[in-house]
Amino acid sequence: MKTQLEKGSKKLLNAWAFYDWANSVYSLVIASAVFPIFYGALFNNAGVEGVTVFGGFIRSTPLITYTTAAAFLLVAFLSPLLSGIADYAGNKKNFMKFFCYLGALSCFGLYWFDIEQIYTSLLFYFFGLVGFWGSLVFYNSYLPDIAHKEQQDAISAKGYSLGYIGSVVLLIFNLLMVMKPEWFGLGGDSILAMKIAFITVGIWWIAFSQYSFYYLPKGNKNKVKITKSILFNGFKELKTVYNSLTENIKLKRFLLAFFVYSMAVQTVMLVATYFGEKEIDWGDSDAKTIGLIGSILIIQIVAVLGAFLTSRSSRRFGNINTLIVINVIWVGLCIAAFFITEPIQFYATAGFVGLVMGGVQSLSRSTYSKFLPETKDTTSYFSFYDVAEKIGIVIGMLLYGIIDQITGSMRNSILFLVIFFMAGVFLLWRVPKK
């Protein structure tokens, strides 16, 4: 029987951060790179702009946007329900495992994604998102349990960096499969290569997560029987956390700012490749595939540098001031995205996105963790954090999809997100600096 590692130990911190290596292949290969290209290719090859769903015609891009929003809505509802159970049943790690395996197995299901079976296909996509984000609820809640406050900025950044590096490794392998399918015995079938890429994500996710699961603590040792009261305890805890914010002005104002700017950040990250697939003039389909995956690689590689630069900047200038500057940069990026049409412009924008993408995520997570009051109930506070993030994503994706559907262009949707980043700057400015 293994000995429980002490809080702050190097092995425990590395085991926690390594889950980013395991699960980030989903966010890169499925959410950001290969699946959006595969999804666009299915509609292009079929010669259709959209499909009939529930009796109404809908374009392909709003369809995937609305499906994404629905998945996040479910995660927002499930998070407090499950975190409440995990706190009392003492099996936080088991819930993290369940969502990990749900997401990974859904990646296997994407192999059969097809327009003719659109409902079943979207269901696999839907549960892949639920699995990925559901596991992050419990993963994030471990941070104050395994790391001391002075360690949290650095280990949070290390987690994101490991995620970026690991996911790039698999993406490069997948890129070779897609561009040179004959090297892998797939003839010239790049669509089949993309389908196999989805399976490699599921295998990678399950295999590498075992290291984290081996060392992370199980959870609360005082295991109790699950009752109706405990089942809904997560919602009661959210209310308790919400009420406690009146006594912690710094945390309350930061959460409001985070809710607003994260709404825009996550929306951009989720739709970036769909935007590039539709709005940029690549020339031909091969150039489009190489260009889009190349852009994602640029984002991932630069994001490693961005996460560490942000961590260093926060030590020198403070977390809030650094986040304000990052939000200002996001404003400029959204305005620039409205005008770009050429691949070289898309590459340049992708580089700047990478620089601020990893930074805003890792610094937001560690800032929230440092602002928490002294408590052993970290899961409830991080559940509140995650619910706020997911509801923000639902709102952001719905607004993005509606504007796209009405105007027929994602450029207008991207420009609309400027409002949220500007509001984020204002709200961060109101967070007490001391």
Mean pLDDT in runs of 10 for the chain (434 residues)? 74 92 91 88 85 83 90 86 67 88 97 92 95 86 81 82 86 88 88 94 97 84 63 76 83 91 90 87 83 83 82 87 93 93 92 86 84 71 82 91 88 92 94 76
Residues 6+ apart with CB under 8 A from 180: none
How would you class 158 by CB atoms within 10 Å of its CB: exposed for 0-12, middle for 13-18, buried for 19 or more?
buried
Q: What is the DSSP letter of 268?
A: H
- pLDDT, residue 399, reads 92
- Tell me the C-alpha to C-alpha distance, in Å, between residue 179 and each of 27, 133, 188, 200, 289: 21, 30, 9, 16, 8
Q: How many residues does the chain have?
A: 434
Q: What is the DSSP letter of 116?
A: G
Neighbours of 207 (CB within 10 A): 11
Average pLDDT, the chain: 86
- pLDDT, residue 111, reads 96
Q: Which run of H or E residues covers position 342?
A: none
Residues 6+ apart with CB under 8 A from 366: 143, 152, 153, 156, 157, 319
- pLDDT, residue 376, reads 58
- pLDDT, residue 374, reads 72
Indicate the class that CATH gives domain 15-212+248-429. Answer: mainly alpha
- pLDDT, residue 318, reads 87
- pLDDT, residue 86, reads 64
- pLDDT, residue 385, reads 84
Residue tagged 């389909």 (tokens): 285
Could you give the angle at which helices 378-407 and 60-89 cross, rounded to 10 degrees? 170
pTM here is 0.80
Q: Where are the domains of the chain?
A: 15-212+248-429
What's the one-letter identity of residue 140?
N
- pLDDT, residue 227, reads 67
